[in-house]
Structure 1
Amino acid sequence: MAKYPKALCFFMCILYAGMTLGQLDITKFTKYNTLDGLNHNHVTSITQDSTGFIWIGTENGPMRFDGSSFVSLTTLNPLYADQEIYTVKLTTLGKNELGISTTYGAFVLNTYDYQFHTLQYDVDAALTTWTYNTYDVQKDRWGYYGVSTKTGFYIYDDLYQPVASKHVYSVDDIGTAWMLYGRNIVLTPDGKLFQKNIEGYNVFDDDSKKILRNPDVYQLDTALMSHDGELQLNFIDSATLVFYSPLKRKIYLQDLSTGTKKEYVLPDKVSANLSWFSKIVVRNDSTLLINGRKGAYIIKYDKAQKTLDFLPELQLPDIEVTTFYVDHDGRLWIGTYAGLYKENNPLPVERFPFSIAGKTDLVNIKWMENVNGTWYASALQDGLLTFDEHFNLKDQEVFTENNVPVRLSKMLRYDKDHLWICCSEGIMDYNVITRQHSLLVFKEHPEYLKNVVIHEIYRERSGDIWVSGNNSNSVFRIDKTGDHIHLVELNDANPKFKVNLIYRFREDAQGNVWFCGDAMARYNRKEDRVDSLVEKLPLQHNQRKVFILHSNSKNELWISTNGENWHTYTEEKGWSVVDDPKLNPDPNKYQTLIGDDLYFISRQGKIIALNTLTRKYRILSAIDGWDQEKINSYGFFKDPDSDYLIFTGDNVIYRFASELPASHQVKTPFVSEINLPGNKVLHHPDGNLTFGSDENTFQLKFLTLNFDDPFNQVYAYRLKETEQTNWIPIDQPEINLTQIPPGHYNLEISVSSKNNEWAPVYKSYPLFIQFPFYMQWWFIVLAISGLALGIWLLIRYRLKRMRFISNLDRQVIEYELKALHAQMNPHFVFNCLNSIKEMIMSKDNKNANIYLNKFSYLLRSTLDQSKLSFVPLSNTIDYLRHYLEMEKLRFTHFSYSIDVQEGIETDTIVMAPLLLQPIVENAIWHGQSEALDDNQLCLRFYICGDDLVCEVEDNGVGINAVKSTQTSGMHLSSALENITKRIELLNRKHDLHYRLSIIDKSEMNKGHGTIVKLSFNHKHDESD
């Protein structure tokens, strides 16, 4: 075997390494412009409100940024569209307050509900262009607002009303003076408003409510302040002031507590790049930044010595910086004329690119071993590479056999000085001290490893080493001395050794070794044979092959198979399958178990770091700094000197920490906006959400302020009624709730990371949908009371009605009894009995018998009908016929007739009983004329419309003549009154429209006699 000359590859060293510390690398920033949602690329100002939103001022107005999206102030409050939008400066004034300086107005914005107030000074209309051109807005600790404009310094109270002012210019100065008075405002150590201006500075005294010009209280250089109007002041801490003088081309550092002032002269090249808009910004307690016409410079600050160290190296040379801002988390934001830049946190996965001198093809590292701080890497035909601890390439060795490069793959550190390297010619022994190498040859079996392509090597706990190559169903076991080799293969002694090519070896808790390939075979160390074969797992659904086995410290087996998730086995719990689809392994990629942590590539192409004991895991995807399409190594390698893990790609080595960085925290999500019916918008609701019954359909937007990895977020929510309520995943942080039933709920929102980089964060809001008025307690009480009152009134009415009906029934019964009494009066009975006696005495037994039968029928029928409300018309006619026949036996000088219209159904038509008999009786007793021998009585029944008419006609003296006689008239009036009263009661009770009419025939010139008509509605049944 020959050895190529060394092909060394050196990375160029970075000059002035000490100065690079803290340098601004634009590649470590994310850029945003109008394509990403900014309303203008010219960023004029940046600040952060008390909630954590980043606010960006541009030529087109302020914008709010949450890490994912930009929202303009005119969207949050459309009324702001009527104001000047060119934003000069944004200033955080305190909790939920933002100062907005524009070219035509100063405003105070409430960042909670996005309402704003104007800070306006009344001046002549001709001066407003200058007076309202605002440079800065600030607020002191007593709540007074200070506004610095081109024409002066103006103070307002907490009601936004003017308190004091220093107005410098008048209308006469228009066109004659350069009106540019005010500059920035800072807060003094004692909390006062300090305005820099072209005449020096102003301080607002809260006690006297006056603006003091150049007061000698802070030991400032008044002459310098007055002479250089372009000074930009800033406090490093509560007592240290720093500023740059464009006029003097110096940076000044002044300690207000001691009055000490230090000057720093800038190099000409640097000062030429600075200008009046260069501002010094405090990045942290040891670093300051100042922007120039191009790029920026770093200034180091020694807090203990109160000194500055200006670094002349230009940072960001290709960027025109307009402003710097450092947020609450120490993240740097840069405003430019071309957009916004946000400093990124270091990615979890570090990249260490490398290249081999003179080689243009990609280099694929398959395995890495660390020996005494030096990394050795096998790179197939590119040989053995060595790297220092910072992964700088130090050396390359290529080994050949017959002038053909030997392909190197997996390695095993045999002892402290030797590496055993799997290669296409067998196993190479490499001495890291002498750099000598040779192929392993065993005396008793020199042919065993010759020309065998070795791709797996494994050391068991006893020290023996197992080796597999490109031969199916055969492995080699080398004892721990390295002197002896044994072949284990498919034969009569090992009939169960049927796994084809072996990809992995694993030792179980009993010391047996498993051979993993298209099946799993167990080599029993005690019996020195293959005693078990597993071709399919108990819970495996498919028939695919390739099995990879791992065993953790608890002797739990983790087995992956092609196309399915992890299968696990313990003696206590038996077999189970991991059901998380994100953990589905790709069996074609290498897997590594380090301790109890399993590192592998998922089928989605992500790196999974899974703790096999706790089942907790993290996911690393392309956004974390590695190219997931180009991983080449046969696994992950532990750095013995740290907690870092190593893997490789094309011409790159990757490194990531095995533990999550503790500093990566995501803020709790919160509801930012609720859109209710009727275009009602609610911003930043408090902890309790209460809506009316007609507001049970709404859209809710929530977010979490994540400026590190906003596109790594996964959202979910649940409207919690019980503990079993499931989470509902959503693509965007927007929830549309419709027709929520009234009641109490808990609305829970969740934000988690796609790669488990950080723990999920939650927020719960009590939600109450009010009940409609008809479900309110007061309405229910009123309804129940009203219902009870209604029921009481109904019962009372029914009782009254029942008493009324009962009274009617009683009266009807009384009149019926009267009618019965009238019909059965003693005179009638006495006459009937006398008639019967005379007939008996005269031996007229036949007529006496007839008379007695009819009399008994009438008595029985009268008693029967008196019990009924209605009787058939046929019964009434039959009753009247018997009665007339009796009367005719007594009175022989009259005749009668009963005529019933053809077609009348007398059996179905019903009427009140005993109503016609008194009328007929009156016609016989009072209507007959003694002068006539032939008195006639006619009864007629006929239909007229819906009425049945019962007509009684006689040819007697007439009703008028009867009424004129005292005895007969009184009897007749009493009888008619009884009939009329009974008809009235019947009509009131049954609404049958009974009508009674009496006509004296003499009044109609139809002779003598009376016609009595009784009519009623015959279309009813007895139930009426």
Structure 2
Amino acid sequence: MKFGFWLLFSVINFTLFAQRGLIQYSRENGLISNEIRDVAYDRKGFIWLATPKGIERFDGQRFIHFKHDPVDSLSIASNDIQGLVFDGDKTIWAFTYNKGLIGIETETFHISNYSKRNIASFGSNRISSVVIRNKIIWYTSVEGKLYSFDPKKKKTTPFSVYRSDSKVIGLNSMILDRLDSSNLWINGMDGLYRFEIKTRSWKHFKFKKSTDINSGSASVYRNEMSCAVQDSKGNLFIGLKKGGLLYFDQYQGLFKSFPVSIEDLKYQEISSIQWRDSRYLYLCVLNKEIILFDTKKKTYVRYEEAERSAVMPYHIIKFGSQLAIASSNAGLFVHDESLIYGTKIRTETQLHAIRYSPDKKNAYRLMGNSTAVLKKLRGNGPETISLKGLIDAKTYYYLEDGSMLVVGANGLVRIVRDYRIVKKILYPDHQSIDKRFQNSLLVGDSLLFIGTLDASLLCYKLSDFSFKRIYSISAETKLDETREYFPLAMVYLDGAVYFSENEQLYRYQINSKRLDRIRLFNHENTDQITCLAISPRRKLWIGTRASGVWSYNLDTKKLRNEFTSFNGLQNDEVNQLTLDSRERLWILNPSCIAIVNTLSKKVQSLEKRNGINDVFGITMTPDSIYFLQRNSYVVGDAKEDLPIQKKAVPYIIQIRDMNGFSSFSTDKFKYAYNENNLVFEFGIRDFSNAENNLVSYRLLGLDEKWINGNQKNEALYHNLPSGKYVFQVQVLEGDESAITSYAFKITRPFWRRWWFITLAALAAAFSIWFFMRSRIKRIQSTEQMKAEFSLQINELESKALRAQMNPHFLFNSLNSIRLFILKDEVDNAADYIAKFSKLLRMILNYSRQDMITVYDEIQSLKLYLEFERLRFDQDFDFDLQIDGQEVLDCQIPPMIIQPFIENAIWHGLMPRTEAGGKIRVSFQKQLSGLYVMVQDNGIGREKAKENNRKRSLKEGSVGLQITKDRLRSLTLRTKRQNEFEIEDLIDENGRAIGTLVTLYFETPN
């Protein structure tokens, strides 16, 4: 019977859950609880789970928890979730035992709670099953009533089950009729009910003798129905609470019973039913196992005892080729039928090798743990060939004459065509273990190369089993790890055997018996060689311990690192390399088996999701590929392409604003300028290969390269400038990728909008115009002031000139000339006229200049003093003092000192009664400027005022005022200090002895 079950499995190619691609997710993976009460798929293929601790949404990579929070009114109403139903659109509906209904939108995760707490007319908070029709929710209560609920109108309508008695019945599950959606089928504790929505009428169907198709059989009529599915004809398969399956023909109203004939499952509840395809049904035997029911043959198929899944199943659901199983205590199990590769065959002992005879008619499997045996796979030979005495069998070979050669750790066995053992070469038990055989290589039909544990390479001649040592590792480098695996690999091509020892490669020329060392790696990329494969194109493929697969061209001597974890491999450790007839390279590593097209460089993988894991070796035969496991192997067609690859699907969950911590859905495409600190939550939907996905993301408009997104579920971006962006998430598997995108825009702030910029530009233009206009006015006003100032200076200078050349001075000068002529003092008159004319010419020349040197000023003052002295008959003396030559280069206004000298002569010296009048003019240069001092020994200012008050006041005041104005104008123009000070000189008795005038001119530093 067991063999018949297994044969049926082989026919339908139904793979085993426990060993073939069944992936478990539990609390260790982030699941909130290992007790799963129900499971559902939404439209995009995400899995939703009902647990006693809340609701989970799972994408194969991450769990999103929905839990009740007493202080959060927006959380789910209860954690005690009984079941889940997807409405086919965008809402998952969860029902509870005492808190009513919970609706969760699958895109936005918006939660809505419906119960008597917030809807007074709500039917019952204790819900047992739910179906959805035209957005109306139909649900049954634990009390045995049916309700329809409109969540939009928040209206509930009850429909009580009509019974002749008043007994309350339990309603367990409910389905919507596939052919007539106006009918509901409800499983109850006392049979099957049909409710017609249009007529609101009930019909009750009980399984009893009168409704049993096989009424003559001794059937046990059990009506506690738990679950049901409908076939294409509209008839129902119904699971029973106390075990077994019913078939119900709704058109005849008759039942047919299919009891479970398996003894230990006979009375176990069928808690869930799911179609596998149009013929087979998955039956979930509550907390036991999953069995298969053939609806055509009406027979059950059960897994072998060693292969039964320990999932403790509670509920099962299918989505495409993917199966999700809710376990009552082991979490979630996911199985994808389309990914399974090959057929799995169990063995009693470990399989070491499978080979076909040269004519492909015979094949044996080399098996055994301590004692090796050959078991027939095909052909006419004996079923088993015992290899007693041969321990730790390694491999065997078919020779051209049809005989077989078996290699073990302790020797060789030769088996001829009639399956007789003709020769054994076995080491005695006391032989050192270091001599035991390891790897071997058959060359032609005559030579066998064997590596031993003492790091030696032996060559056996099969004609007489003589041997010679080809290579032996030196004593200095003979390490345990080297001896254990030596040689790590051997291949043969064109009369040469290539073998490896750690990172070294050797070539042994069989004819010339020459041994060459091929240095492959340098000190920068040294790695241990683990395996070799060679192609007819004279390319040597090299597997390494930590750097993937290398290729070495035997003709060009070029070494190249071909395949690593950076370009398709899932792991850089390579345990075996095998080339098939299509020159595809099969790479065995701890993570998976990679299949590489050596021409296109395309990499594909076989792994746990394909039902292939824990493989320690790959064996190629002309028509099959064998993946060796401990007590089983998987065999696939050598000509078959790889199975369809299920690609991971990237998606974007939501977007959050870090400023206000608000969340946005992917339906929002425009953000304000201050909503520019965004977090993008993303995920990868893949229930079979999540650990091997290469995930990356980028923000087009900001990021130039993809950013590694493995072990992440969100991307943060701060202070994004306004503009258009596209956030992308990519999943890379091999050389193929899947990308999802989310385009959005961050708007400009108002000060960067066109209308604001236009207004600002107009305001700026007006401001510039106003500024320029004001500036022009200021310039015009300044120029006008300068013109007026220049005019004022000219007037002051004219006044000064007129003051200096007053009529008295001219009259007195001309009168003095007349007296000189009348006295016949021609020489004096001529000298006077000459000095007078020279002084006038000098005054006129200097009056046209703003500044003159002290030297020029002294010349004019000297001429003026001599002229006045001649005029007053040598009545006073004068003295001009200069403090250094640098004084002569200083600049002062022209004729600025003359008025003070004139005042000293006329008002100080002339009124003196004594002789000896004197004027001293001194020039001193200090750090801060030039000091000019005019000192006389006249009568003083007070005495002069008394002598001629009216005249002195008039002329003195005018001359001094003109000089003050000139100095003030000079200060305004040069921004330097210019001033004078008049001081009366007195003796110790208080009598006036003269006047001192000090002029100060600030000079540049």
The TM-score with structure 2 as length reference comes to 0.69
Cα distance change, pair 48–621 in 1 and its aligned pair in 2 (3 A) = closer
Does 2:104 correspond to 1:109? yes
1:208-257 Cα offsets, whole Å, 9 max, x none, are xxxx5525xxxx736879xx99977866368726375989999776778x
Instruction: Output the CA distance in 1 between the equivalents of 2:3 and 2:292.
Output: 24
Instruction: Output the CA distance in 1 between the equivalents of 2:869 and 2:25.
Output: 127
Cα distance change, pair 806–622 in 1 and its aligned pair in 2 (3 A) = same
Partner amino acid, structure 2, of 1:558: W
Shift in Å, 1:920:
8.5
Cα distance change, pair 124–348 in 1 and its aligned pair in 2 (3 A) = closer
1:756-795 Cα offsets, whole Å, 9 max, x none, are 5x94434455576777788777777777777766666665
Instruction: Output the CA distance in 1 between the equivalents of 2:16 and 2:468.
Output: 61
Partner amino acid, structure 2, of 1:99: W
Answer whether contact 2:179 2:234 (CA < 8 A) is retained. no
Partner residue in 2 for 1:332: 324
Partner residue in 2 for 1:386: 375
Does 2:535 correspond to 1:535? no
Shift in Å, 1:376:
3.6
Answer whether contact 2:580 2:620 (CA < 8 A) is retained. no
Instruction: Output the CA distance in 2 between the equivalents of 1:898 and 1:801.
Output: 50
1:94 aligned counterpart, secondary structure: coil
- Identity fraction in percent: 15
Instruction: Output the CA distance in 1 between the equivalents of 2:100 and 2:951.
Output: 112
Shift in Å, 1:152:
6.5
Shift in Å, 1:1014:
11
Does 2:608 correspond to 1:613? no
Shift in Å, 1:896:
12
Residue 49 of structure 2 is aligned with which of 53, 56, 60? 56
Residue 694 of structure 2 is aligned with which of 714, 734, 738? 714
Answer whether contact 2:549 2:574 (CA < 8 A) is retained. no
Partner amino acid, structure 2, of 1:333: I
Partner residue in 1 for 2:157: 166
Answer whether contact 2:652 2:680 (CA < 8 A) is retained. yes
Shift in Å, 1:640:
3.0
Partner amino acid, structure 1, of 2:374: L
Instruction: Output the CA distance in 2 between the equivalents of 1:119 and 1:595.
Output: 62
Shift in Å, 1:678:
2.1
Instruction: Output the CA distance in 1 between the equivalents of 2:840 and 2:223.
Output: 136
How many residues end up aligned between the 2 structures? 912
Shift in Å, 1:551:
3.8
1:704 aligned counterpart, secondary structure: strand
Task: Give ranges in structure 1 of 5+ residues lacking alignment.
Answer: 1-10, 170-175, 205-211, 357-362, 442-450, 492-499, 1000-1005
Shift in Å, 1:438:
2.4
Partner residue in 2 for 1:207: none
Instruction: Output the CA distance in 2 between the equivalents of 1:320 and 1:774.
Output: 65
Residue 285 of structure 1 is aligned with which of 265, 272, 278? 278
Does 2:547 correspond to 1:552? no
Partner residue in 1 for 2:583: 596
Answer whether contact 2:54 2:68 (CA < 8 A) is retained. no
Residue 672 of structure 1 is aligned with which of 653, 664, 683? 653
Instruction: Output the CA distance in 1 between the equivalents of 2:711 and 2:574.
Output: 30
Instruction: Output the CA distance in 2 between the equivalents of 1:34 and 1:521.
Output: 54
Residue 789 of structure 2 is aligned with which of 812, 823, 827? 812
Instruction: Output the CA distance in 1 between the equivalents of 2:409 and 2:331.
Output: 55
Instruction: Output the CA distance in 2 between the equivalents of 1:560 and 1:202.
Output: 67
Does 2:683 correspond to 1:703? yes
Instruction: Output the CA distance in 2 between the equivalents of 1:409 and 1:122.
Output: 73
1:435 aligned counterpart, secondary structure: coil
Partner residue in 2 for 1:446: none
Cα distance change, pair 540–321 in 1 and its aligned pair in 2 (3 A) = closer
Residue 411 of structure 1 is aligned with which of 377, 383, 396? 396
Partner residue in 2 for 1:398: 387
Instruction: Output the CA distance in 2 between the equivalents of 1:317 and 1:547.
Output: 36
Does 2:150 correspond to 1:156? yes
Shift in Å, 1:335:
4.6
Within 5 Å, give how 1:907-918 maps onto structure 2: none
Residue 419 of structure 2 is aligned with which of 435, 456, 459? 435
Shift in Å, 1:596:
1.4
Instruction: Output the CA distance in 1 between the equivalents of 2:555 and 2:301.
Output: 68
1:582-601 Cα offsets, whole Å, 9 max, x none, are 57987986756654133455
Partner amino acid, structure 2, of 1:812: F
Partner amino acid, structure 2, of 1:166: T
Shift in Å, 1:577:
1.3
Partner residue in 1 for 2:643: 662
Instruction: Output the CA distance in 1 between the equivalents of 2:741 and 2:312.
Output: 44
2:798 aligned counterpart, secondary structure: helix
Shift in Å, 1:558:
3.4
Partner amino acid, structure 2, of 1:388: L
Instruction: Output the CA distance in 2 between the equivalents of 1:364 and 1:272.
Output: 36
Within 5 Å, give how 1:389-538 maps onto structure 2: 394-398=383-387, 405=390, 409-415=394-400, 417-422=402-407, 429-432=414-417, 434-439=418-423, 456-459=440-443, 465-469=446-450, 504-508=490-494, 512-514=495-497, 516=499, 520-521=506-507, 523=509, 529=512, 533-537=516-520
- Cα RMSD after superposing both structures: 6.6
1:80-137 Cα offsets, whole Å, 9 max, x none, are 3373343343221233322233432434322222223455679896x87x64445566
Partner amino acid, structure 2, of 1:109: I
1:649-697 Cα offsets, whole Å, 9 max, x none, are 555445466666433312321222444422535466369797847735x
Answer whether contact 1:63 1:71 (CA < 8 A) is retained. yes
Instruction: Output the CA distance in 1 between the equivalents of 2:56 and 2:167.
Output: 35
Instruction: Output the CA distance in 1 between the equivalents of 2:301 and 2:38.
Output: 25
Instruction: Output the CA distance in 1 between the equivalents of 2:544 and 2:585.
Output: 15
Does 2:30 correspond to 1:37? yes
Partner amino acid, structure 2, of 1:611: N
The TM-score with structure 1 as length reference comes to 0.68
Shift in Å, 1:814:
1.6
2:646 aligned counterpart, secondary structure: coil
Instruction: Output the CA distance in 2 between the equivalents of 1:61 and 1:502.
Output: 54
Partner residue in 2 for 1:47: 40
2:352 aligned counterpart, secondary structure: coil
Cα distance change, pair 625–114 in 1 and its aligned pair in 2 (3 A) = closer
Instruction: Output the CA distance in 1 between the equivalents of 2:310 and 2:545.
Output: 51
Partner residue in 2 for 1:375: 364
Within 5 Å, give how 1:155-194 maps onto structure 2: 155-156=149-150, 160-162=152-154, 165-166=156-157, 184=174, 186=176, 189=179
Partner amino acid, structure 1, of 2:403: H
Shift in Å, 1:705:
0.9
Shift in Å, 1:70:
1.9
Instruction: Output the CA distance in 1 between the equivalents of 2:816 and 2:951.
Output: 32
Shift in Å, 1:864:
4.4
Does 2:558 correspond to 1:575? yes
Instruction: Output the CA distance in 2 between the equivalents of 1:203 and 1:895.
Output: 149
Answer whether contact 2:107 2:665 (CA < 8 A) is retained. yes
Within 5 Å, give how 1:28-427 maps onto structure 2: 29-74=22-67, 80-81=74-75, 83-102=77-96, 103-119=98-114, 131-134=124-127, 139-141=132-134, 143=135, 153-156=147-150, 160-162=152-154, 165-166=156-157, 184=174, 186=176, 189=179, 214-215=200-201, 221=203, 236=230, 240=234, 242=236, 244=238, 259-265=251-257, 281-288=274-281, 295=288, 300=293, 309=298, 322-336=314-328, 339-343=331-335, 352-355=345-348, 365=352, 368-369=355-356, 371-372=360-361, 374-377=363-366, 382-388=371-377, 394-398=383-387, 405=390, 409-415=394-400, 417-422=402-407
Partner amino acid, structure 1, of 2:81: T
1:328-371 Cα offsets, whole Å, 9 max, x none, are 44313225366444346576587644336xxxxxx672564465
Partner amino acid, structure 2, of 1:89: G
